[in-house]
Structure 1
Amino acid sequence: MTILITGATGQLGRLVVESLLERNVPAGQIVAAGRNVAKLEELAGLGVQTRTIDYSDPVSVREAMDGIDKVLLVSGNEPGSQRVPQHLNVIEAAKDAGVELLAYTSIANADTSTMALAADHQATEQALRESGVPFTMLRNGWYLENYTDQLGGYLQHGSVFGSAGEGRVSAATRADLAEAAAAILLADSQAGTVHELGGEAMSLEDLAREVSAATGQSVTYQDLPEEDFARLLAGAGVPEPFARILADSDRGISRGELLVEGNDLATALGRPATSPSAAILAAASDLATKGA
């Protein structure tokens, strides 16, 4: 069985390849693909096959599918007009290649979400259902790194800013989501399944409390109207369209749209997901080490 991991030059895809190797999948049965194969040299040195794939280039997509049994389609990083056509190129190539399973990294609660960020995922899921390709949906929750990567800013300002109100988000580490993807790719009878993958739920007030506990510095949550939060993000250097998407995502959190029910992630992992407190504590330790 040969498994193609698209987007392997990105953080999630790379972690999935590493997780497959840790699960003793022979390196020669893994194909790591990305737009810049030079970034995959280390994996190639381990015996992993590497191929060029550009979702916008149907020829490269079809060539990457040659001899493939299972595919992980890591969603593209260009939300908006480009992403769905790119995903369609992969789905069509997978269909023509006769793959036995295509796993797609979607978003939590994709079927009911009203978040702007969910629209491309909803269109891709619909295309997959209509394609005839055996599929499994990996509906990934928010990355905990969306918060832990901002730890320095939280400490600088003494605040976590957002517009999520009292809503809770089932965030998980990128590594946990990658490990779950690897496990699901290797599992039997996955065609037609949907996995809602989220970790321990927390509010942004909980996040601020955990940051305070991990660092010994008082950090509070400052809840802002959505438009004010978007302006704050833009003022901090976030491109305005993406700032609006992030603020809209916080609105989604306030409505419970990133709250994942059930234990699909823990089931796939065979253990509890990494808790927010553990992830924040590790990030605080890393920050302290870098500052030392």
Structure 2
Amino acid sequence: MFKESGHRQIPAYSQEDSAWARRLRLKVRHTDGSEECYFIKVSVKLEGKEALKGEFESTLAIHNINPSFCPKPIGWGTLKTDSNSHFYICNFDNFTGDMPEPISFCGKLAQLHLSSRPLSPNGQFGFHCKTYNGNLPQENTWSDRWELFFADGLRDVLKIRLKRAGRSLELEALEPALFDKVIPRLLRPLESGGRQIQPSLVHGDLWYGNAGVVSGDVEKSIIYDPSSFWAHNEYELGNWRPSRNKFASIYFEEYFSHIAPSEPLEDFDDRNTLYSVKFNLQAAAIFPDNEEYLQMAMDDIKMLVAKYPQGYQ
């Protein structure tokens, strides 16, 4: 069902070394002598403020559904001593450098996706505030159709990439077929012919750098640094397709032991490719000097455009 990406290996990008946020561990000693640690992220300007608000609201939404699957969010706001600097604070967890154990991790993720389905406001796709993938704002305006929500979000990513990196004539030539043929062909069948999909709360940027194993407990995995919204649950897996993100086929298999792929089943691999296109274009917008992310996205778009020249029939 799932074909491992054949793309060449390139280094995974790390938001831990980002230029748009500083990360700190705060150790607190209480009057009774006990100690606790907290994680603090500090960012600047209005964009940084919105990003930290989005991270708090995303983590809070996940924590309200499955509190064992993410750090407990405590608060966010503006520093009293500097109105241009803003913070987000949550509990601190000490992680190992290991990948999460597939069985327990995928079970928790599937539980998050299933348990959140009745909770989306008005049953729509979107989120109540802007969330950020790194320094990239996401288009989260509510929509009652997944196809439209996804297309609007992808257009927004392309607009930001254009502003940051400049024109790509090759990409621009592919865009009409991508939006007029490929997206309707792969996403419209999810919501037609008597089919429907319920919105699930997704992490939104679930690569290996945003998933951790708590030190001393291999079964306890936690996700963090989310950029959440209510989406088609399979969207989450689009970020697993690029080999740089280290979620191999075993994670797909374990996830689908809890939630089967949506119908039409035969479209799954190409839907997964389409979703991964957005993640690669996001990376291309976040790191405009790295042309490999853009090339990976264009390679997949070309394949899909060639495969679906007639679009939705």
Global fold match (TM > 0.5):
no
Higher-RCO chain (CA-CA 8 Å, sequence separation at least 6): 2
